[in-house]
Every structure is written in structure tokens, then in C-alpha cells.
């Protein structure tokens, strides 16, 4: 029997994760399944705990499970690293949960646990992730990375006191929209050059550049409808030269993946991406704020994560193609 190591963020979902973990633990005990549980206490702690879990597994069949939101999944992924011997599992207990959307994990935490416990070792599915190198430091991401306005919104959303209120009302995803409207008036756009597999593209008055491994971000927005997490590539979305009013229309349409029809939205895909901006811009990875910089390097890392969510089944996401606006 494989060993399970659960890394729990008790503060995820405005504390909802505590109740989720109690139910998960109760079921594990009722089924007599051995497990180890660790609890994060500060930002970045999940990275340290995932490394500890890997050392405890000592090469044996093991699954390290993030229990929380996308930030918890991001930290556990970075603690495991690319091509880890341990499987990577997830039980959603946050407010956004784009990871569970993109990888077809049940939104109900107990359903996610049932799926996780029912997956034989031989059926673990390898999937891609991305790497972001910023100021000499590498960060892995499983959902998306972004530069510009969306990174600023992610930062402010995570810091906002309104996030607590929205989560209490079970409207956690709306905090992104609230912060977007609040920050829109003061944001200054920049000129950006995006180079994809050696081909450079220049954009004036750029709002943001998002690099996706799967379709969802920002609490359910379908930013990259054709992104597939197992194709060895990353998908790039560039939004530029829009008025503030039209940008709001774009963001509204993102919830249905219809933003690709705007002429100011450009979509690409590739394996190696670099971003150069005329002035420092905000950058995030999986919604976690990384910092500000004039440049960043991103790469697809194919089949880098042993994902314990799909039971070996092929992930059924929207098929990409020219109809989705890719070049």
C-alpha cells in the first residue's frame, strides 16, 4: 500500500480547510488507511513540508497531497520538484480551486478523496508543468503564470480584507473581480516583447501576458480555452491596446472563454517563452505573487508531475486548434 502525506493549509478558504481536513481525517481513520499530516504555518511552509515528506517517503511509493487552494498546490509542487518519485495529489479546500477545474478533480473534497484513494499506483498519470525563472530564481507552476495587470490583481486579491467577506458568503471567486475594478483606474500599461521559441512579438500598451498549462485561472475564468496540460507546450495570451472599458468586456467574456474573438487578444503556444518589458511589471505563478521585474524566462517541462487525480484516464479538455485563435 502506498503512503499518503497530506500537507494541509488550515487557513485556506478563510479557514474552511480546517473543517474539510476533519472530514478527510475521519474517513482515513474509518478505512484504516495509514497517513501522515503536516500543517502549514506561514507562506512558503508548504514547500518545506513537501520536501520533508519526500525524504520520509525515501523512494517508496507515496503520494504527497495538497489540501487547500491553488496556493497550497503551488507550494507542494515546488517542494516536490519536477520529475519527483512521489505522486502529487490535491483535495480542494480553497476559494479559487482552478487546479481542480483544470484537472477534473471533484469540487467536493470527499469526492476528491475517494478518487485519490481509488487510484492504483500503476495508473498515476504524468502531466506537464511550467517553470518561471525570475531574477535567477526558478519557480514551478501547474496552472499558469502571468505578467502585468493580472499579477497585480492576484497580489491585491490575496491581500484584500474583502477576500474574507467574499469567502464567508461563498463568493470567493468574485474577489478577483472586485480588485480588478478597484485597480483598473490607476494601472499603467507597458510595452512588452514576448519571444516564443525564438520568434519575437512586440506589443504596445500591454495589459497582461498569461502563460497557461491548463485553461482556468482567477477562480474559473477560461483564460486559455485550448490549453492542454499534457502536450509539452505552454499557451500564451496577450491582451494589449484596449481601453479600460473594453478591458472590462474582455474580462467578462473570459468566464466563457469568448475573449479570444477580440482583435486585441493574441494567443500563441510554444515551449520556451521570454518576456521583456519597458518598465518593471508584476509577475505571479499559480496566483502567488513572485515580484516585479523587467524580464522573465518560462519553459514547459513535459511529463514532469506524477499526478494522482485522473486514475490513468486521459484528461478531456477543450480541443485546441485554429478555431481557438492560436497562431
User: What are the catalytic residues?
Assistant: 288
What are residue 200's phi and psi, to 5 degrees? -90, 140
Q: How many CB atoms lie within 10 A of CB 313?
A: 11
Q: b/e map of 165-187 (b: 16 or more CB within 10 Å)?
A: ebbeeeebbbbbbbbbeeebeeb
Of 39, 100, 41, 34, nearest in space to 62 by CA: 34
**Rounded Cα–Cα distance for residues 125 and 121 (Å):** 10
Of 89, 92, 319, nearest in space to 224 by CA: 319
CB contact at 8 A, 17 and 9: yes
Task: Quote the strand ranges of the chain, DSSP E.
Answer: 3-8, 35-39, 62-68, 87-92, 125-134, 137-141, 144-148, 190-196, 199-212, 216-217, 221-222, 234-240, 265-270, 272-285, 288-307
Burial class (CB in 10 A: 0-12, 13-18, 19+), 209: buried
**Rounded Cα–Cα distance for residues 162 and 160 (Å):** 5
**Rounded Cα–Cα distance for residues 266 and 167 (Å):** 33
Grouping H, G, I as helix, E, B as strand and the rest as coil, residue 219 is: coil
**Rounded Cα–Cα distance for residues 252 and 189 (Å):** 20
Q: How many CB atoms lie within 10 A of CB 46?
A: 28
Amino acid at each position: 500500500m502506498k503512503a499518503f502525506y497530506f500537507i494541509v493549509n488550515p487557513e485556506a478558504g478563510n479557514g474552511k480547510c480546517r473543517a474539510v481536513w476533519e472530514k478527510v481525517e475521519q474517513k482515513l481513520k474509518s478505512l484504516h488507511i495509514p497517513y501522515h499530516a503536516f500543517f502549514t504555518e506561514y507562506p512558503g511552509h508548504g514547500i518545506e513540508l513537501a520536501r520533508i515528506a519526500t525524504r520520509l517517503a525515501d523512494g517508496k511509493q507515496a503520494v504527497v497531497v495538497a489540501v487547500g487552494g491553488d496556493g497550497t498546490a503551488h507550494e507542494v509542487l515546488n517542494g516536490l520538484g519536477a520529475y519527483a518519485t512521489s505522486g502529487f495529489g490535491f483535495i480542494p479546500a480553497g476559494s479559487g480551486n482552478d487546479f481542480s477545474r483544470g484537472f477534473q478533480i471533484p469540487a467536493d473534497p470527499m469526492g476528491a478523496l475517494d478518487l485519490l484513494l481509488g487510484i492504483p499506483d500503476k495508473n498515476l498519470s504524468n502531466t506537464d508543468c511550467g517553470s518561471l525563472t525570475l531574477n535567477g530564481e526558478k519557480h514551478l507552476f501547474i496552472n499558469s503564470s502571468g505578467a502585468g495587470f493580472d499579477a497585480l490583481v492576484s497580489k491585491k486579491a490575496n491581500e484584500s480584507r474583502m477576500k474574507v467577506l467574499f469567502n464567508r458568503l461563498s463568493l470567493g471567486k468574485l474577489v478577483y473581480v472586485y480588485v480588478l475594478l478597484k485597480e483598473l483606474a490607476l494601472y499603467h500599461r507597458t510595452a512588452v516583447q514576448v519571444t516564443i521559441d525564438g520568434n519575437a512579438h512586440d506589443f504596445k500598451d500591454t495589459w497582461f501576458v498569461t502563460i497557461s498549462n491548463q485553461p482556468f485561472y482567477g477562480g474559473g475564468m477560461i483564460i486559455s480555452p485550448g490549453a492542454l496540460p499534457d502536450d509539452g507546450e505552454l499557451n500564451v495570451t496577450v491582451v494589449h491596446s484596449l481601453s479600460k472599458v473594453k478591458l472590462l468586456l474582455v474580462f467578462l467574456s473570459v468566464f466563457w472563454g469568448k475573449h479570444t474573438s477580440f482583435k486585441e487578444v493574441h494567443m500563441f503556444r510554444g515551449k520556451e517563452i521570454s518576456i521583456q518589458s519597458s518598465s518593471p511589471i508584476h509577475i505571479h505563478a499559480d496566483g502567488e505573487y513572485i515580484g516585479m521585474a523587467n524580464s522573465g524566462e518560462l519553459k514547459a517541462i513535459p511529463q514532469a508531475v506524477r499526478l494522482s487525480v485522473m486514475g490513468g484516464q486521459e484528461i478531456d479538455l477543450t480541443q485546441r486548434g485554429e478555431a481557438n485563435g492560436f497562431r
